[in-house]
Amino acid sequence: MTSSLHAVATGIFCACFLLVTLAGFWAVRWKRSDLNSLEEWGLAGRRFGTLVTWFLIGGDFYTAYTVIAVPAALYGTGAPGFFAIPYCILLYPYMMLVLPRLWQVCHRHGYVTLADFVRGRFGSRSLSIAIALTGILATMPYIALQLVGMREVIAALGINGEWPLIAAFIILAAYTYSSGLRAPAVIAIVKDIMLYIMVLAAIIIIPMKLGGYAHVFSAASTALAQKKPPASVILQPSQYLSYATLAFGSALAIVLYPHTATGVLSSSSGTVIKRNAALLPAYNLLLALIALLGFVALAAGVHTANTSSAVPLLFVQEFPGWFAGFCLAAIGIGALVPAAIMSIASANLFTRNLYGELIHRSMTPKQEATQAKLVSLFIKVGALVFVLFVRAQYAIELQLLGGIWITQLFPSVVLGLFTRWLHGRALFWGWLAGMATGTGMAFARDLKSSIYPLHIGGHVWTVYAAVPALLANLLVSIIVTLLLDAIGSERGRDTTLETDYVTEAA
């Protein structure tokens, strides 16, 4: 590509970023309220309706790294990269069952985080702290990956140096601090419109230029077969179990991330969540189309050792400068929305469930909000420093580990919404067993993969490490519950009521 094309693309990219920056700062005036409380700054007063919640949760799920990593997986490994599609299909009925109930309990008791809910449900301080720590640890590399995605976009524009990434970070930090959750909610609307335009253009125009999808799949199949090790556009029998468990485990995990909970709890009602569970499959169609771009990049002859750069390079190669800039801006803006929500969610956890629990200091709503704002800045600075001074591969490896960790919240949060049979202390020991098992499996693979070979009965079963770790978690939780009940150990006080779990009619 010529420098003039890069200049045009960069100009359009910067113009789009200026637009969302203004939108981010304007958001402080949208649904105006006093942002000197965690309820308003961190959850936007729980007033978002169906449409805004749809964009916000979609912004949570479909990040810049998703747009880059899913087609990158197909570009590098072929068919296994499609696991994201069935995982999202599994997700929506799961959301319909779990999230309206979670919203209702949290709304009635003023809970801001999942750790708040667990504290109220099981009366266990140690379990609440464990939930908060897990959420923050699992989210930090996720934020870093959004910045990695943005760096790939900037690199595709041919811009040298880290200053554009630092500038984008400063913008993100400023409007998140001033506007709270309202900023990513407004920007998510702009981002999603841009993403739909980008994807529809890419999956129609580029394949037409290449000779149609028959040629795309044929060329991709040939290119994948030449990789070491060879890959394929068709899933192989040896990959079935790892593919299925990865899809299943990922679906269990995604609703347990702090940023998902923040998006859900900002909604105005449980009915809004149900509507979104019904409407969000539209994003799954978008994701399936995005995934195909990995094969399109192979067919277009994009050559790169860094699979994450395949889609940005494809756009620069195949589109005119102005539209390449638009597409890269859509991906870059797609990093700002989830990064903002993730930093807010982590700040909420720290303020409410770490500082509050460990220091035992009562804070006014204004003090809570101020601390959360400062913590959100610190988290973003940490992610930026990590990206600037540590290899991006480490962020990817830690994010794989984070997915295993966050799954270990399932017994406390999801099962806790339906039963209190499990003992709070038992859930803590189960969490510890699951964390140790999952972490051990990941390190046994040198953090290169979350797929672990289990040797059982003379056979090798390759599974997503989060699944056996969760089974260990559940087994320990059940056994310790039975032991504690047998010796008559007292349970923590449940401050929720049975009526809290009867969800409102749609």
Q: What is the CATH number of the domain that holds 220?
A: 1.20.1730.10
Domains of the chain: total: 1
191 part of a folded domain: yes
Q: Tokens standing for 254? A: 């995604």
301 part of a folded domain: yes
DSSP assignment, residue 78?
A: B
pLDDT score, position 204:
92
479 part of a folded domain: no
Is 1 in a helix, a strand, or coil? coil
470 closest CA partner among 142, 251, 238: 251
- One digit per residue, the tens of pLDDT, for the chain of length 506 reads 334 457 888 888 888 888 888 888 887 777 666 777 888 888 888 888 888 888 888 777 677 767 888 898 899 889 888 888 888 888 888 988 999 999 999 999 999 999 999 999 999 999 999 999 999 999 988 888 888 888 888 888 887 777 778 888 888 888 888 888 888 888 888 888 888 899 889 999 999 999 999 999 999 999 999 988 888 999 988 889 999 999 999 999 988 999 999 989 999 888 898 888 888 787 778 888 888 999 999 999 998 888 888 999 999 999 998 999 999 888 888 888 888 889 999 999 999 888 877 776 677 788 888 888 899 988 888 888 877 777 766 767 777 888 999 999 999 999 999 999 999 999 999 999 999 999 999 999 888 888 999 988 878 899 999 999 999 999 999 999 999 999 998 888 999 988 888 766 54
- Tell me which residue range forms the domain holding 152: 3-390
Q: At a CB cut-off of 8 Å and minimum separation 6, what does 313 contact?
A: 156, 297, 302, 304
pLDDT score, position 1:
39
162 part of a folded domain: yes
Q: How far is 168 from 174, CA to CA, in rounded Å?
A: 10
Q: How far is 376 from 140, CA to CA, in rounded Å?
A: 11
Q: What is the pTM of this model?
A: 0.90
Neighbours of 8 (CB within 10 A): 17
pLDDT score, position 2:
39
pLDDT score, position 503:
65
pLDDT score, position 392:
67
324 closest CA partner among 314, 332, 334, 333: 314
269 part of a folded domain: yes
pLDDT score, position 420:
92
427 part of a folded domain: no
355 part of a folded domain: yes
266 part of a folded domain: yes
Q: At a CB cut-off of 8 Å and minimum separation 6, what does 66 contact?
A: 84, 287, 290, 334
Q: Report the chain's terminal Cα–Cα distance, integer Å.
A: 53
pLDDT score, position 31:
66
Q: Tokens standing for 297? A: 């990049």
